[in-house]
Each structure stands twice: as structure tokens, then as C-alpha cells.
Structure 1
């Protein structure tokens, strides 16, 4: 499969997560404070909670329900109660398009 358009870069607000679903795969897409775009799995591994409703701080996305923060680069939880990582997807930028292949995760 090839990368698909997830959203427009201009639609992303800095330090805010946006939920997108590509081929049934929910993702949280984030424009961090350094201007880098990240895509991680949108479901917290501690509970069935949408991470895109959480809080972005630096290179982390924190689950609003129980406070587990996940690295936007590795998907690894940085604190309890979560202990399992979420997938991290490769992001490509083409003009104003944010492209993601939901079948390809980063090796971290």
C-alpha cells in the first residue's frame, strides 16, 4: 500500500492532536512545537481512550483519562499506568498534504 492523504498541513494547529482514520486504522496526527508532524496510534494501550483528545507537550501526547504520556517519536509510554507502546507511523509531507501509510510503522 502507498501513503494516503491524512489531512492538510494547514489544518494542524501546533501542539494539538487531530484524529484521522485511514483504512480503519485510527491515528493521532500532531504538529509539535518544533514544527515536526508525527502520527501515532490513537488508542491508549491502558484503556480504550482516544489519545487525540489528550494533551500535547513537547514530544509527548498525554492520555486525558489516566495521564499516561506517550513519546511521539517512539510510541513508548513514559509513565504508568500504560506500559505497552502505541504504533508510530511514517509521515511524509507533499506540499500541504500530510501523507501516511497505515500499513507501515516505524521501527524504533
Structure 2
């Protein structure tokens, strides 16, 4: 497994997201319900940064057309998105948030 530090605990407030470029990928780190999730940062419907969206009920909302994506699975929960965003495995060790690319 290729675990890489993407952020630190305390860097992202509850129900907030952080956009990060890591190894040439545009990623978003989401913090909600005491957990961290990492997805691709680009909406699958149209170019928009999911890290600029709102988090609600375990989903992130695209700021452009309000498509909702499940943070655990990446599956779209509302139109206009029909394709899932990629999700990545995350773990916390100490104060480091690590992602498996």
C-alpha cells in the first residue's frame, strides 16, 4: 500500500473540505461526523471543485449544480451527476491523515 500524508488532524474543521494536489491528482479531504474521507476533487458532471462544496448527511454537494456525492462510496445521490467520484482509503495515525493512492 502507498500511504501518503495528505493533511493533519485539526487542519480541517468539522463539515469542511480541503483541496489538495498530491502526486498529480486533484483530491479533496472531507471531515464530517468525526471521520475523514478523500475523494477526487473534480465533479464528474462538470468541472467544479468539490472542496468548495457543502457537506451534509455524509455527502458533499457540488458548488456548481448541486449534485450530491456519498463520501463513503463516491456514488451520486442526486442529478445532474450520474457518474461516481473516486474515493480513496484513509487512515489517521497520530495527527497525520494518510491516504492510500
Q: TM-score, normalised by structure 2?
A: 0.96
Map Cα deviations across residues 40-59 of structure 1 (whole Å, 9 max, x no partner): 11100000111100001120
Residue number in structure 1 paired with 2:61 = 62
Detail structure 1 runs of 4+ shifted over 2 Å in the superposition.
none
Residue number in structure 2 paired with 1:26 = 26
Where structure 1 has 5 or more consecutive residues not aligned to the other structure, the ranges are 103-108
Report the Cα offset of residue 69 of structure 1.
Answer: 0.4
Where structure 2 has 5 or more consecutive residues not aligned to the other structure, the ranges are none
- Larger mean CA deviation between 19-28 and 62-71 belongs to 19-28
Cα RMSD of the aligned pairs, angstroms, is 0.9
Residue number in structure 2 paired with 1:17 = 17
Map Cα deviations across residues 18-74 of structure 1 (whole Å, 9 max, x no partner): 111110111111110x20111111100000111100001120000011010000000
> Which secondary structure state, in structure 2, belongs to the residue aligned with residue 80 of structure 1?
coil
- 1:94 matches 2:93: yes
Q: TM-score, normalised by structure 1?
A: 0.90
